[in-house]
Structure 1
Amino acid sequence: MPPEHDQRESVQSAYKRTKLSLTEVCLLILTVLAVFYTLSVASQIVLPFVLALVINLLLVGPMRVLSHRLRVPKPLAALVLMLGLAGVISAIGIAISVPAAGWISRAPEGLPALQAQLAVLREPLDAITNAYTHIQIILSGGNADPSSALAPGAGGDGLRRLGTTVFDHTRLLIGQLLTMLLMLFFLLTEGDSLLRRFVEIMPTFADKRRAVRIASQIERNVSLYLATITIMNLLVGVFNLVQCWLVGMPNPLLWGVLAFLLNYIPIIGPLTGVVIYFFVGLFTFPSLFQSFAAPTIYLCIHMLEGEVITPMLLAKRFTLNPVLVMASLMFWDWLWGISGAFLSVPMLAVFKIICDHVEQLTPIGHILGGPVRPTTLRTLGRDYGAMDFGNNEDA
């Protein structure tokens, strides 16, 4: 009997044994909503901890090489890895900040060229703007003044508010970064002892084995995923750097580093990169046709990496349903912003591993798994015979 069939049988038996009453389902829904509300309210303290846990999974391999094989003391090994991580982050920040500041300062000079290239869209955009202004007037009862936003005092107040917002966000970001680094240091140095203590309190030997299996599989699969996508993202950044240099875009290092960072966010990140490349091309090249060269090559590189190479490397150990990956991405991006989008896939993978090893949750783990073969409605009807999907192949 094939392993896939055995897995389906075990999932079905677990589903039969764990049927919940209506009261239990309602309590479960309320608990999930309470957990998500807590994660949203306490994001300033929870998010650094989750980031530290995920980065710890990426660094746990080098940490064991330094501490176990090279006999480096754990605090010193953790400090070396964190200094290396800080150096990489600083290098990325320098590679982005200086050219980006130059682009921002030159943006007003390039606006006439951008308007000339987008002249074909001027009339539709004017029509949309006028329609929006009329809607504002209608909704406000005819008392709206479209020019009120351009009053003399509005600009100064807006700049002050912008400065305050930037300062507050910068202070919050620095605080979260320090919290994450502190938590990461203790996870690297004392994470194994914490896991050992957790296993020791398990009541039975079977529970101890299950806890060890869950922890080892999370560490192996998530660290493999993070290491693989980091290497692939680095290659994507290098190839985009080369193609930007070949097509004549200025500051190719900036756009290569940007492609490297955006590729950590599935789907949305690369699409954002394509849009950015297109607008940079509009500022750089004299014709609209030339502006499409860099984003088209960027899209081809992403399709080759995201649809062929990376799935081939991760297929044996890391398969998740693409629909649920996209849903997880949108949900965590809404809850925690860019950091949530970066953490969406690792957290979904951790949740699937836990579900696969807890009997009551195995049906959920089965749903989260990726497709193992092409499936259509007709295939499902042939496999289970429960519904008539019609005789037409296209049904």
Structure 2
Amino acid sequence: MAKSPDQHIKEDMPLPEDPSHVFQGGLFAIAVLACMYMAKEALLPIVLAFFLKLLVQPGMNVLKRLRVPRLLAALLALALLLGVIVGLVDLLSSPASSWAQRLPQGLPRLQERVRFISRPLESMTRLFKHAQSAMVGSGGQPAQQSGTDIQQLLLSTAHHFASGLVWTLLMLFFLLLAGDTFLRRLVEVMPTFGDKRQVIDIAQQVESDISVYLITISIMNTLVGIATGLGMWGLGLPDPLLWGVVAFMLNYVPIFGPITGMALFLVVGMLSLDPLWKAFMPMALYICVHLIEGEAVTPMLLARRFTLNPVLVMASLLFWDWMWGIPGAVLAVPLLAIFKIICDRVRPLMALGHFIQGERRRVWEP
């Protein structure tokens, strides 16, 4: 007798029949997430180091085949990452600080050029004045000037970033040095041969898929940054290198990043370019670059490995941004992809993995 589609789904992706199991699993998930929220200062460098390890793992594998000692390979990877970060910070710190001071002072010009958004800008002006009045000292004079306040905010942000970076790079170094030690230990404690195979399968799939995702996204984001920087240079916008790096970084955050980039390039164009029609060109160019990359090239490269439900991607972005801020938003899609990989290979969670999966796009094949 032929089995109905419902029977096939029930056998392939079994649903829990005891409601208490769902309730207990939900409580466990809430407890884990609460701990992750409370311990984010300690957990975030570890999670970032793990994803950086997946990003540099193909290079480590190449060095391993060349018989380079693991310690030397880890030091080389760390030096390369640190060199790129320090170089970019050194190049961009001065123009970024200059623009941070210029943007609040440019609100009157924006009001004059774009009448239809004058009310929101007036609200922003009042907000700036309100914030400044809140910082008035007991003598009736502002404790500090606006420019100094912005510089102190930048210094505080840079200090926090540098502290997190140091811990992340240290953790990355020891992860690279450990290699697959943790995987071997986990396999050794698994009770059955089937469990050992399952752990290895999940670990290999996570390393393969997430490494491909991170490398592909990083390459595409670099190309987006180069195209954006060249376009801004062609339009005559000041500091094109800064805007190329901004486009590169924003592209790591799906949906929110491009929206932020559109608003930012509109404001920058209004502040810098004349006549009025040309002021819209930075935003238009950024949109064109993003559409080519986000709607054509990247989906074609990743469609075979990643088909996530876009609604759940959006929900994941909102959730992880609330949990861990900007780093959480950057990690939202890889974390959701890892969760799906685990669900697809753990039988009680297969139904949840099927729920996370999105519709497969048709990709062009030669």
Q: Which residue of 1 aligns with 2:28?
A: 31
* 1:189-228 alignment, distance < 5 Å: 189-228=177-216
Q: 1:90 and 1:9 mapped to 2: Cα distance?
A: 58
CA distance in 1, matches of 2:274, 2:265: 15
Would the aligned equivalents of 1:218 and 1:353 in 2 still touch at CA under 8 Å? yes
Letter in 2 for 1:90: V
Q: What is the alpha-carbon distance in structure 2 between the residues aligned to residue 97 and residue 350 of structure 1? A: 35
* Alignment partners' CA distance in 2, 1:313 and 1:9: 35
Cα distance in structure 1, aligned partners of 2:83 and 2:133: 48
The match for 2:322 is 334
Distance across 2 between alignment mates of 1:233 and 1:304: 12
Query: Where do 5+ consecutive residues of structure 1 fail to align?
Result: 134-144, 375-395
Alignment match, 1:65: 62
Q: Is the 8 A contact 2:14 2:350 kept in 1?
A: no
1:18 corresponds, among 16, 19, 29, to 16
Task: Write the distance in 2 (CA, Å) between the matches of 1:221 and 1:124.
Answer: 44
**Is 1:297 matched with 2:285?**
yes
Alignment partners' CA distance in 1, 2:329 and 2:4? 34
1:364-391 superposed Cα distances (whole Å, 9 cap, x missing partner): 11111120379xxxxxxxxxxxxxxxxx
2:248 aligned with 1:260: yes
Q: Deviations over 1:294-352 (max 9, x none)?
A: 10111111111111110110111121111111110111011101100111111111100
Flag structure 2 segments of 5+ consecutive residues without an equivalent: none
Q: Give the alignment partner of residue 82 of structure 1, picking from 72, 78, 84.
A: 78
Per-residue Cα deviation, 1:173-207 (whole angstroms, up to 9, x for no partner): 33322221111111111131221121121111111
Q: Give runs of aligned pairs for residues 144-183 of structure 1, distance below 5 A.
A: 149=134, 153=140, 155-156=142-143, 169-183=157-171
> What SS does the aligned partner of 1:337 have?
helix
Letter in 2 for 1:209: R
What code does the residue aligned with 1:208 have?
A: K
- Note if contact 2:16-2:22 (Cα within 8 Å) is conserved in structure 1: no
RMSD (Å), alpha carbons: 3.1
Deviation at residue 116 of structure 1 after TM alignment: 2.2
Q: Does 1:45 align with 2:45?
A: no
The answer to whether residue 227 in structure 2 is matched with residue 239 in structure 1 is: yes
The Cα shift of 1:55 comes to 0.6
Shift of the 161–98 alpha-carbon distance from structure 1 to 2, 3 Å rule, reads closer
Residue 179 of structure 2: SS of its match in structure 1? Answer: helix
Tell me the alpha carbon deviations over residues 2-28 of structure 1, each in whole angstroms, 9 at most, x when there is no partner: xxx99997653254463232x333222
Question: 1:234 touches 1:260 (CA, 8 Å); kept in 2?
Answer: yes
After TM superposition, the structure 1 stretch with the greater mean CA deviation from structure 2, 26-35 or 44-53, is 26-35
1:178 to 1:20, Cα distance in 2 relative to 1, 3 A: farther
1:253 deviation in Å? 1.0
Alpha-carbon offset, residue 101 of structure 1: 2.1
Percent of aligned pairs sharing the same letter:
44
Query: Amino acid of the residue matched to residue 224 of structure 1?
Result: V
Q: 1:295 to 1:236 in 2, by over 3 A?
A: same
* Pair 1:245–1:75, CA change in 2 (3 A): same
Give the counterpart letter for 2:59 in structure 1.
Answer: P
3-state DSSP of counterpart to 1:265: coil
Q: What TM-score does the superposition give when structure 2 sets the normalisation length?
A: 0.87
Q: TM-score, normalised by structure 1?
A: 0.81
8 Å Cα contact 2:110/2:270 also seen in 1: yes
CA distance in 1, matches of 2:188, 2:234: 59
1:122 CA drift (Å): 3.4
Q: C-alpha offsets along residues 71-102 of structure 1, whole Å, 9 cap, x if unaligned?
A: 11101100001100011112222232121123
Q: Confirm or deny that 1:369 pairs with 2:364.
A: no
Residue pair 2:132, 2:142 contacting (<8 A) in 1 also: no
What SS does the aligned partner of 1:156 have? coil
The residue aligned with 1:355 is 343
* Amino acid of the structure 1 residue aligned with 2:82: A
Larger gyration radius, structure 1 or structure 2: 1
Hey, what does 1:307 align to over in structure 2?
295
CA distance in 1, matches of 2:150, 2:99: 20
AA aligned to 1:332 is W
